[in-house]
Amino acid sequence: MNTAKLINKPTVFIQEIGQQILQPKNLGQLVTTLPKGVNVRLIQWVLNNRLLPQLTGQEFKYLEGRQLAIEIKDARLIVIIGYSSSRLCCYDLLNGTKNQEYRYDATLSIDTLCAIELMQQTVDPDTLFFQRKLSIRGDTELAHHVKNTLDTLPSEVIPNIVRQIMSVYARTLKGS
């Protein structure tokens, strides 16, 4: 890195460092360096608070006793979720670079940008699936059920500020 940038243009330097840190592979590595218990509890809290109406309606009951892996390929993250006692459970958060020998009932794999577009509902999950940007392994019926549930979630599930952050992040990813 050019030290002249640090002295002459600190804003540019900070932006470049920020863009490096925010690359999916680096962000995934950063997330998995945090204590696993903190990550797991945070994921559970967010899911259960944001999806409370769907949980009350037992829309996720089909996950009971099952384990679904959600793999964010370019971030090398795998989140293992399930359902128990009318709540979503996060069983684990893994660094996907490690060679795990876990067996999940189903796995949904997607890259960061497509995951953001899916959460923002700017792309249909079926479109991603047929473009091979969303892949399914294991129990395809379970994975398709999850995919269809995601497709029917109201857009208000994701707070406006989070949508804005995701939009900025997506633009950053598209620009790199």
Joined tokens for residue 113: 């940008």
In the prediction, which pLDDT does 62 show? 94
Joined tokens for residue 158: 């994701």
Structural domain boundaries in the chain? 3-175
**Other CB atoms within 10 A of residue 88 CB:** 20
Number of helices (H), then strands (E), belonging to the chain: the values are 9, 5
Q: Give the side-chain half-sphere CA count within 13 A for 125.
A: 18
Tell me the C-alpha to C-alpha distance, in Å, between residue 110 and each of 23, 65, 92. Answer: 15, 24, 18
Q: Is 13 a residue whose pLDDT tops 70? A: no
156 pLDDT tier (thresholds 50, 70, 90) = confident
In the prediction, which pLDDT does 16 show? 65
pLDDT digits (tens, 9 = 90+) for 94-125: 887 555 556 789 999 999 888 888 888 888 88
Average confidence score pLDDT of the chain: 82
Q: Is 49 a residue whose pLDDT tops 80? A: yes
In the prediction, which pLDDT does 66 show? 95
Assigned CATH class of 3-175: alpha beta
